DNA sequence: TGGCTGTACTG
DNA sequence: CAGTACA
DNA sequence: GCCA
């Protein structure tokens, strides 16, 4: 799943004082997908993302947030970063991340990843955190109870409704589809919606709208120019889709 | 040193 | 209402 | 983690 509030920390993004004077922030979703540029620092961000995920898994949410901002800044940086100074000059990147970035640039590796991720507990936490409805807290409780596999969770854990769904569709939810397939699904939704009223407006949002190559889900916004005709459409739409 | 998004669900 | 997870 |  994608972040609803994915910020772009690009230092060349749309100024908040755009000609329209609207207080639009620097959001990835506020940029046209056609402006999606290549990540020139992928060799760096792919490693930082591994560490960020490990920290997120262990309830260190603020550290993970710091990593997320830094990674976003690196992704939209217009050049490949090669020096510590260049890295630390980027907003959102301080001395600690600059150290790590310099290590990656020079050695091609980040030793911290091994320290943090190679342990058995970290691997188990990652498995459990990927259950939809299970976050860092519950994942750690599972580990504390001695659970090591999804089978342990299935047979021993007490799960709420969301977590039950998450476990039963574990690999489905982990799966991603090519954006073409997301487009097809969006079209299917649009066609079904317009059978009720051709004046509905359907917009596929989320990761698809942001130009991602793959999508974990399909977000469709349904609206109507008159501002009220859309009310109650969701339930009827679901009925129609289920019946076909 | 403390704040860092807003919202819904669960118990 | 606090804790938790999600987007 | 970063930053004010």
Report pLDDT for A24.
Answer: 42
Mean pLDDT of A75-86: 96
Task: Report the DSSP beta bridge partners of residue A224.
Answer: A200
Assess whether A62 (CB) lies less than 7 A from strand C.
no
Cα A66 from Cα A55, distance rounded (Å): 10
What is the Cα–Cα distance from A32 to A6, expressed in whole angstroms?
14
Which residues are CB-neighbours of A205 under 8 A, at least 6 positions away? A29, A219, A220, A221
Active site residue A100: yes
- CA A21 distance to own-chain centroid: 30
Tell me the mean pLDDT in the region A117-139.
Answer: 96
Q: What is the pLDDT of residue A115?
A: 95
Q: Helices (DSSP H) in chain A: which residue ranges?
A: 42-57, 61-75, 84-88, 95-107, 111-117, 120-129, 136-144, 150-156, 161-168, 170-174, 179-196, 206-209, 233-243
Q: What is the pLDDT of residue A28?
A: 61
- For the residues A105-131, what does the mean pLDDT come to? 97
> Using the CA of A128, which nucleotide's C1' is the nearest one?
C5
pLDDT-based confidence at A19, cuts 50/70/90?
very low
* A91, closest nucleotide (Cα–C1'): D2
Name the 3-class secondary structure at A185. Answer: helix
Nucleotides of B under 7 A from a protein CB: 3-6, 9-11
Answer yes or no: is A62 CB < 7 A from strand B.
yes
Specify the range with the lowest mean pLDDT, choosing from A12-21, A51-60, A131-140.
A12-21
For residues A25-50, give the mean pLDDT: 76
**Distance (Å, whole) CA A33 – CA A28:** 9
Out of A100, A187, A213, A236, the active site residue is A100
Estimate in Å the CA A137 to C1' C2 gap, whole number.
Answer: 14
Of A2-11, A64-73, A167-176, A199-208, which gets the smallest average pLDDT?
A: A2-11
Per-residue pLDDT tens digits for A144-162? 999 999 999 999 999 999 9
Q: How far is CA A179 from CA A1, A160, A244, in A?
A: 14, 32, 23
pLDDT, tens digit, 9 for 90 and up, residues A180-208: 999 999 999 999 999 999 999 999 998 89
With CA atoms as reference, report the closest residue to A58 among A3, A126, A145.
Answer: A126
- The distance from CA A51 to its chain's CA centroid, rounded to whole angstroms, is 15
Predicted pLDDT of residue A59:
86
What pLDDT sits at residue A13? Answer: 34
Backbone dihedral angles phi then psi of residue A137, each to the nearest 5 degrees: -65, -50
Task: Kindly list the structural domains of chain A, giving each domain's residue range(s) and its CATH number in brackets, ordered by start.
Answer: 32-118 (1.10.150.110), 120-175 (1.10.150.20), 176-243 (3.30.460.10)
Between CA A224 and CA A208 the distance in angstroms is 21
d(CA A77, CA A87) in angstroms, rounded, equals: 10
Burial class (CB in 10 A: 0-12, 13-18, 19+), A126: middle
| A63 nearest nucleotide via C1' and CA | D1
pLDDT at res. A66 = 97
d(CA A239, CA A241): 6
């Amino acid at each position: 799943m994608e972040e609803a509030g994915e910020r772009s920390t690009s230092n060349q993004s749309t100024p908040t004082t755009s000609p329209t004077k609207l207080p639009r922030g620097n959001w990835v979703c506020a940029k046209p997908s056609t402006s999606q540029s290549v990540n020139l620092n992928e060799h760096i961000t792919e490693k930082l993302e591994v560490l960020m995920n490990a920290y997120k898994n262990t309830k260190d949410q603020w550290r993970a947030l710091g990593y997320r901002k830094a990674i976003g800044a690196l992704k939209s940086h217009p050049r490949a970063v090669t020096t510590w100074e260049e890295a630390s000059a980027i907003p959102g990147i301080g001395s600690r991340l600059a150290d790590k970035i310099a290590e990656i640039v020079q050695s091609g590796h980040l030793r911290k990843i091994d320290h943090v991720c190679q342990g058995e507990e970290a691997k188990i936490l990652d498995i459990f955190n990927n259950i939809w409805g299970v976050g860092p807290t519950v994942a750690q409780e599972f580990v504390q109870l001695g659970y090591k596999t999804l089978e342990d969770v299935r047979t021993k854990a007490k799960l709420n409704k969301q977590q039950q769904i998450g476990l039963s569709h574990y690999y489905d939810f982990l799966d991603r589809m090519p954006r073409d397939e997301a487009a097809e699904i969006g079209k299917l939704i649009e066609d079904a919606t317009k059978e009720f009223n051709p004046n509905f407006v359907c917009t596929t949002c989320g990761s698809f709208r942001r130009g991602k190559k793959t999508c974990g889900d399909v977000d469709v916004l349904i609206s109507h120019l008159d501002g009220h005709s859309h009310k109650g459409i969701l339930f009827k739409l679901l009925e129609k889709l289920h019946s076909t």
